[in-house]
Chains A and B, each alone.
Chain A
């Protein structure tokens, strides 16, 4: 196990050593259930699939993941442990990746715990489990995207509230950039390719593609490179202002 693994393990255990794990998982499951059954009309639709469940995930993540991510670096800064971490023989990149992977894996655990939903549709009907699997994959990748954004914002400030608010705003940008209303703001003055670029950056575009059961390599590449980009930005920001 390398140093990334050591950091990963410490962080993941850390979630469960604090009330964070319990609170996050319970609220995630409750909200996911409430959205699906009340807002999504899960039963009334009479369809055996999990579309109403997955449709709410971007909005759920928009709020919950920044709440989880805001502490990633802000807390290290505030507590001074960042000084400890970066005077151990570890590279910036290893620390950034290790902490991110632990947080991402934690959301994966929360997501996995929604399996009763999957069991329920399988009892009630005959859903296309391939589509459900692809949706889970898409949801997990999207969670990683939100987490990577949150990681970067958390590195920017030692104030967790600021980190949270900025992450939500940036995350919202990544959801809304697929909406026509937002694109209109740019189409007036920006060249066409910029507008297309912006729309192709939307989480929704790629998540919806996956949750229809189409596992396209481009969508995977999109999410993974997005994560890579924001983690790179995290490392840059840390290098720039880790001592403040």
Chain B
């Protein structure tokens, strides 16, 4: 439903977005990850037609965003970065305004406004000027505004930034329920969010797409993918670490904590090693406190992919 082709944007000498191409279909939730200044927001601004690209095209539901902007915008909902809103208005009057701009009138308008206020829990502050709302409530107003017309394509720039944990949970739930019949693109700096809501994750760094895959694919790129955490009770037995290191498929075993017997066993090439480890445990009758498989650390993948090589050490 959203298609980007060879999208590029430069601001003078700065290349903000470089040759980005992808498509997002119904039912997909695409998460943009990337360091500050990577070009996530700029890409979103071009998808929504606010910025004109230096090169390339974007189509939304088959409408070219620059040749048929009105049709494309009808089916788009957009939460800009920082959730801007007219500060002197109240959430109620602001949502009425957006609803009217979207072409709703009368009973339909009031129904949609109250429905959307309920979805993001805004009823309590309906009559308070937006300027005086806390950051999280402002974000919710921005979110409400983006979904009031039930768009088929949703672009959300850091939708959960500034929300409390309960609200984060609710908003993620909301995004997941909407995901079925929409194409959603969101950006986030919260890596766990990728797990919670995204069906697909894309890391953007230095204005280019670096990886594009499911969150699981991304985790599989971690050194910790399929690593095993093992914690034993009892007197510190010698040679445990060496024994673990000698198991088939094991790359290395590192002691996590000096005194407690806790080890992280890293596999060679990400192959599953839990079987070998548990057999070893049985053979020696070790007293196990914890035995678990890691899926991989997204933050580690993120760092290794987005930081220039020399900065890694």
Does B294 interact with chain A (Cβ within 8 Å)?
A: no
Q: In the complex, which of the residues A14, A79, A88 contacts B101, with contact meaning CB atoms closer than 8 Å?
A: A88
Contacts A3-B101, A90-B101, A243-B50; A84 near B88 (Cβ below 8 A) = no
Q: Please indicate the chain B residues that have their CB under 8 angstroms from the CB of A7 in the complex.
A: 101
- Give Cα A120–Cα B48 distance, bound, in whole angstroms: 56
Tell me if B70 counts as interface (CB < 8 A to partner A).
yes
Question: What residue of chain B has the Cβ atom nearest to residue A243's Cβ?
Answer: B51
A17 within 8 A of B: yes
Residues of B within 8 A of A80 (CB): 80-82, 84
Task: Tell me the bound Cα distance from A84 to B83 in angstroms.
Answer: 9
A140 to B86, CA, bound (A): 28
Q: A6 → chain B, closest Cβ, in Å?
A: 5
**What is the CB-to-nearest-CB distance from A195 to chain B, in angstroms, rounded to a whole number?**
40
User: Which residues of A lie under 8 Å from residue B80 when comparing CB positions?
Assistant: 80, 83-84, 87
Chain B residues near A243 (CB-CB < 8 A): 45, 50-51
Picked from A1, A6, A79, the residue with its CB within 8 Å of the CB of B84 is A79
* Total A-B Cβ pairs within 8 A: 63
**A129 beta carbon closer than 8 Å to chain B:** no
Complex CA distance for A80 and B51, rounded to whole angstroms: 13
Let me know if A10 is at the binding interface, CB within 8 A: yes
What distance in Å separates the Cβ of A185 from its nearest Cβ neighbour in chain B?
A: 37
Contact B50 A83 (CB under 8 A): yes
Complex CA–CA separation, A3 to B76 (angstroms):
17
Q: B85 an interface residue at 8 Å Cβ cutoff? A: yes
A87 touches B97 (CB 8 A): no
A4-50, CB < 8 A from B: 6-7, 10, 13-14, 17-18
Chain A residues within 8 Å of B, Cβ to Cβ: 1, 3, 6-7, 10, 13-14, 17-18, 79-81, 83-84, 86-91, 242-243
Does B305 touch A at the CB level, under 8 Å? Answer: no
Judged by a CB distance under 8 angstroms, whether B98 is at the interface is yes
Measured between beta carbons, the chain A residues less than 8 angstroms from B50 are 83, 86-87, 242-243
- What residues on B are CB-neighbors of A81 within 8 Å? 84-86
Please tell me if B89 contacts chain A, counting CB pairs below 8 Å.
yes
| B-side interface size class | 20 to 34
Residues of A within 8 Å of B45, CB to CB, are 83, 243
User: In whole angstroms, what is the CA distance A3 to B74 when docked?
Assistant: 13
Residue B215, interface by CB 8 Å: no
A-B CB contact pairs (8 Å), 26 listed: A6-B100, A13-B93, A14-B88, A14-B89, A17-B89, A79-B86, A80-B80, A80-B81, A80-B82, A81-B85, A81-B86, A83-B45, A84-B78, A84-B80, A84-B85, A86-B49, A87-B50, A87-B76, A87-B80, A89-B102, A89-B103, A90-B101, A91-B69, A91-B70, A242-B50, A243-B50
B57 at the interface (CB under 8 A from A): no
Specify the chain B residue showing the minimal Cβ separation from A10.
Answer: B97
Q: Answer yes or no: B145 CB below 8 A from chain A CBs.
A: yes
- B87 contacts chain A at the CB level, 8 A cutoff: yes
Given A10-B97, A14-B88, A17-B88, is A87 in contact with B49 using a C-beta cutoff of 8 Å?
A: yes
Task: Kindly report which residue of chain B lies nearest to residue A78, judged by CB atoms.
Answer: B84
B195 in the interface (beta carbon within 8 A) = no
Minimum CB distance partner of A3 in chain B: B101
A84 to B235, CA, bound (A): 64
A65 to B215, CA, bound (A): 55
